[in-house]
Amino acid sequence: MIADKMKSFVAGSSAIRAMFEEGKKMAAIYGAENVYDFSLGNPSLEPPAAVKEAVLKVLEETSPNELHGYPSNGGFEDVRLAIAQQQNRLHGTNYNEENIIMTVGAAAGLNIILKAILNPGDEVIVFAPFFGEYASYVANYDGVLVTVSPDIQTFQPNMDELEQKITKNTKALIINTPNNPTGVIYSEETLKTLSEILTKKEKEIGHPIYLISDEPYRELFYGDFKIPFVPDFYPNTIIAYSFSKSLSLPGERIGYVTIHSEADGFEELVSAMTVANRISGFVNAPTLWQKVVPYVMDTHVDVSVYKKNRDDLYAILQELGYPCVLGDGAFYLFPQSLIPDDKAFCNAAKEFRLLIVPGSSFGCPGHFRMAYCVDNATIHNAKESLKLLKEKYSK
Amino acid sequence: MIADKMKSFVAGSSAIRAMFEEGKKMAAIYGAENVYDFSLGNPSLEPPAAVKEAVLKVLEETSPNELHGYPSNGGFEDVRLAIAQQQNRLHGTNYNEENIIMTVGAAAGLNIILKAILNPGDEVIVFAPFFGEYASYVANYDGVLVTVSPDIQTFQPNMDELEQKITKNTKALIINTPNNPTGVIYSEETLKTLSEILTKKEKEIGHPIYLISDEPYRELFYGDFKIPFVPDFYPNTIIAYSFSKSLSLPGERIGYVTIHSEADGFEELVSAMTVANRISGFVNAPTLWQKVVPYVMDTHVDVSVYKKNRDDLYAILQELGYPCVLGDGAFYLFPQSLIPDDKAFCNAAKEFRLLIVPGSSFGCPGHFRMAYCVDNATIHNAKESLKLLKEKYSK
């Protein structure tokens, strides 16, 4: 009854989501406090108080027909301009509303970017480990996902392999920094090298390689440094952003795409993505949330809470002997599984009511992902289960 | 720079949307009251007061993490169950939450249905005139749109031609009643005949033909009758519904899909559409609006206002000599253009600051669409322009 392509999608349906559904069932059986659910990046922090205030404000002050009616497919001009001006303030760019398209979250953003640029057979490169949904998004437009193998010592991009894997069919590279699932952040040096490779290869192959920067974790970093602004290093950059994590609003599906002014074919890209927003069925980002954005775009959740979670979880993993790279951002750690078969390992973890996601879901077997956007108590309560899991494989 | 497929989409981009953008520009130049914009189905009525009350209620009473966090991809179970029970009350069905998938409006609903069922080359039949976006949605999944030519006397479906156009590649038929752009409603008799044809043809070709019923205008009808419930006539029915029109919330993107329990491959369809919701980048319908639905799903805007608009506009068209079928629903009339070239006709209308959409955009040249979801004054103020337009072609 269903499409052939969908059969494999349904069969290989997101392990993360399956775990999320299983977690809800286990919580009903054992009580939520006895299930240590690190499966989904569902923020534990409440949205900042400013969010509710802004919702109430726009409900009071905006005419209902404007607030809830159809905007342009790219979004309200005033909202897009406000974001453009914020970017100009932060990054010294020269954006206006044309550079910004409001989207149904970053997932929609990535989809309209890929729909706009991919011909069937075009290659999109990702660095393993990567957010598994990229594979679906690229397949949606009959693109070919090309993976660069992980450097499991650092989870920084493997530049030599990147260079080898760029072909005349390469249309784009997706990066995600701070990274899901590793938490690692790319330094300025890394972005500089990346840009040099892409610029050189663009000349060789004779057409643009778009750098798609997926940035839902842009504000979530733990340390006294700045996250580099990708277009500063490479002009052919398109950013997909979401307020899901910075404002703890993942269910509301509100984000935007930034098309850098110096990107090749800027006007054509903007038109194509705006049309893609409409014909893909998104039509436009939810309007109430669009109108809320200008009031809350400069605020974010208290990241010190996530930092403490990360520090506590990392200390426990170290103490118990789980090898793990310490990432400085997002809300994930990506330790090694204690047996090569990470799926079996994550299945075994369920015995101890511990929900963790196999690295295979991110193109990086032999690891598992823990989303630490949970109550701090969950991390400490999970220690015993992590210990028992370790002991199971230490006989 | 952009995908080949997108080039034609961008070039032939929605005439309705182009008109909408042009209307905004003309309003800025001539003043909104001097532009008679009948281009877009953007409801003129404010949402019922219950909508804002419900938003405030869910903001007060729901924990922010539940309200704004990730739900299941199909939507909150309690919301889906509430809708299922409403359908059971109204239609005597036996639905539960499995029958309902919350979507980012009906546009997303149609896309996840088509993504779930279409293999490349599968045929989807529509009756002209039809909502132009169907062509894009079918093309998104490499389906082939097959159009049945219009009966311009009644705008009821042409059954003989339907029967001829069903082939072994036919996977689905999309209907839209009350209809955009004609306003016509299919009677029980029509649906019965349709069902007989589809049932006979299913046996001949040996696989299901899904009837996709696009129902954003379900509550907008003007008369003392009931809109037939399509699954009562044909079990292989999947409905895409939206609150955009019934509650005047088109910008918020909230709707749902109903998969009838007796549809072939029910479980498989539900799984595929749920996965399609995720991998297409919708992820889930906006959660605040999901939670609002149970409080407002039994209410709707005051349709007597649209009825008066329709009656007044129809009377003006009759008086001026524009041949037009009187539809009993939605908020559109679809008169004949006074020259065969409807695009030239709609272009000429702009001289008189009259924004109307060519029938070609709906697969039915020689006509034009007027969306009468406007202030009643706009209709009466437009009379002079309609008269001048008529005179232009009566020399």
Taking contacts as CB-CB distances below 8 angstroms, the residues of chain B near A140 are 279-281
As a whole number of angstroms, the distance between CA B353 and CA A169 comes to 48
SS (H, E, C) chain A: CCCHHHHHHHHCCCHHHHHHHHHHHHHHHHCHHHCEECCCCCCCCCCCHHHHHHHHHHHHHCCHHHHHCCCCCCCCHHHHHHHHHHHHHHHCCCCCHHHEEEECHHHHHHHHHHHHHCCCCCEEEEECCCCCHHHHHHHHCCCEEEEECCCCCCCCCCHHHHHHHCCCCEEEEEECCCCCCCCCCCCHHHHHHHHHHHHHHHHHHCCCCEEEEECCCCCCECCCCCCCCHHHCCCCEEEEEECCCCCCCHHHCCEEEEECCCCCCHHHHHHHHHHHHHHCCCCCCCHHHHHHHHHHCCCCCCHHHHHHHHHHHHHHHHHHCCCCCCCCECCEECCECCCCCHHHHHHHHHHHCEECEEHHHHCCCCEEEEECCCCHHHHHHCHHHHHHHHHHCCC
Q: Residue B59: which of A55, A115, A287 has the nearest Cβ?
A: A55
**According to the model, what pLDDT value does residue B22 have?**
81
> Which residue in A79, A242, A279, A284 has the most chain B C-beta atoms within 10 A of its own C-beta, making it the best mutation to test that interface?
A279
Q: How far B344 CA lies from chain A's nearest CA (Å)?
A: 24
Answer for the pair A99, B269: CB distance below 8 angstroms, yes or no.
no
As a whole number of angstroms, the distance between CA A343 and CA A368 comes to 9
**According to the model, what pLDDT value does residue B258 have?**
98
Q: Encode burial over B235-252: b for 16+ CB neighbours within 10 A, e otherwise.
A: bbbbbbbbbbbbbbbbbb
Task: State how beta strands A354-355 and A36-37 pair.
Answer: parallel
Taking contacts as CB-CB distances below 8 angstroms, the residues of chain B near A290 are 251
Q: Residue B140: which of A249, A269, A279 has the nearest Cβ?
A: A279
Taking contacts as CB-CB distances below 8 angstroms, the residues of chain B near A47 are 64, 68
Answer for the pair A374, A333: CB distance below 8 angstroms, yes or no.
no
As a whole number of angstroms, the distance between CA B218 and CA B214 comes to 9
Q: How far B177 CA lies from chain A's nearest CA (Å)?
A: 20
Cβ contact (<8 Å) for A59 and B64? no
Taking contacts as CB-CB distances below 8 angstroms, the residues of chain B near A57 are none
Q: How far B171 CA lies from chain A's nearest CA (Å)?
A: 9
> In sequence order, what are the beta bridge partners of B123?
B144, B170
User: Phi first, then psi: what are they for A129, rounded to 5°?
Assistant: -75, 150
As a whole number of angstroms, the distance between CA B214 and CA B172 comes to 12
Q: How far A233 CA lies from chain B's nearest CA (Å)?
A: 20
As a whole number of angstroms, the distance between CA B90 and CA B98 comes to 18
Per-residue pLDDT of chain B (395 residues; tens, 9 = 90+): 899 989 888 887 766 777 777 888 898 899 988 999 999 889 999 999 999 999 999 999 999 999 999 999 999 999 999 999 999 999 999 999 999 999 999 999 999 999 999 999 999 999 999 999 999 999 999 999 999 999 999 999 999 999 999 999 999 999 999 999 999 999 999 999 999 999 999 999 999 999 999 999 999 999 999 999 999 999 999 999 999 999 999 999 999 999 999 999 999 999 999 999 999 999 999 999 999 999 999 999 999 999 999 999 999 999 999 999 999 999 999 999 999 999 999 999 999 999 999 999 999 999 999 999 999 999 999 999 999 999 999 87
Q: Residue B279: which of A117, A133, A265 has the nearest Cβ?
A: A133
- Nearest in space to A294 (alpha carbons), one of A86, A102, A124: A86
Please name the residue of chain B whose CA is at the shortest distance from the CA of residue A45: B65
As a whole number of angstroms, the distance between CA B287 and CA A43 comes to 14
**According to the model, what pLDDT value does residue B333 have?**
98
Please name the residue of chain B whose CA is at the shortest distance from the CA of residue A73: B17
> In sequence order, what are the beta bridge partners of B23?
none
Torsion sign across C-alpha atoms A96, A51, A327, A226: positive
Q: Which two tokens stand for residue A373?
A: 């956007």
- Number of CB atoms found within 10 A of residue B395's CB: 4
Whole-angstrom Cα Rg for chain A: 21
- Nearest in space to A213 (alpha carbons), one of A193, A189, A232: A232
CA B204 centroid distance within chain: 30
A199 torsion bin: left (phi>0), alpha (psi -120 to 50), beta (else): alpha
Cβ contact (<8 Å) for B253 and A136? no
As a whole number of angstroms, the distance between CA A355 and CA A350 comes to 6
- Nearest in space to A41 (alpha carbons), one of A11, A17, A13: A17
**According to the model, what pLDDT value does residue A24 have?**
82
> Which residue in B171, B257, B283 has the most chain A C-beta atoms within 10 A of its own C-beta, making it the best mutation to test that interface?
B283
A with B: how many residue pairs have Cβ under 8 Å apart? 235
Q: Per this entry, what is the length of chain A?
A: 395
**According to the model, what pLDDT value does residue B385 have?**
97
Tell me, what DSSP letter sits at residue B207?
A: S
Tell me, what DSSP letter sits at residue B285?
A: -
As a whole number of angstroms, the distance between CA B60 and CA A54 comes to 14
Please name the residue of chain A whose CA is at the shortest distance from the CA of residue B210: A1
Q: Which two tokens stand for residue B21?
A: 């953008």
Cβ contact (<8 Å) for B2 and A116? yes
- Nearest in space to B321 (alpha carbons), one of B247, B232, B389, B219: B389
Please name the residue of chain B whose CA is at the shortest distance from the CA of residue A107: B281
Answer for the pair A253, A104: CB distance below 8 angstroms, yes or no.
yes
Q: Is residue B286 reached through a cis peptide bond, with omega within 30 degrees of 0 on the bond before it?
A: no
As a whole number of angstroms, the distance between CA B73 and CA B280 comes to 11
Cβ contact (<8 Å) for A1 and B137? no
Q: Residue A116: which of B3, B59, B249 has the nearest Cβ?
A: B3
> Any idea which residue has 């784009």 for tokens?
A172
SS (H, E, C) B17-34: HHHHHHHHHHHHHHCHHH
Q: How far A282 CA lies from chain B's nearest CA (Å)?
A: 6
Q: Can you list the positions of beta strands (E) in B244-311? A: 255-259
pLDDT along chain A (395 residues), means of 10: 88 73 86 91 95 98 97 97 98 98 98 97 98 97 98 96 98 98 97 98 98 97 95 98 98 98 96 96 98 98 98 98 97 97 95 95 97 97 97 89
As a whole number of angstroms, the distance between CA B237 and CA B258 comes to 8
> Which residue in B17, B40, B279, B361 has the most chain A C-beta atoms within 10 A of its own C-beta, making it the best mutation to test that interface?
B279
As a whole number of angstroms, the distance between CA A295 and CA B61 comes to 23
Answer for the pair A26, A39: CB distance below 8 angstroms, yes or no.
no
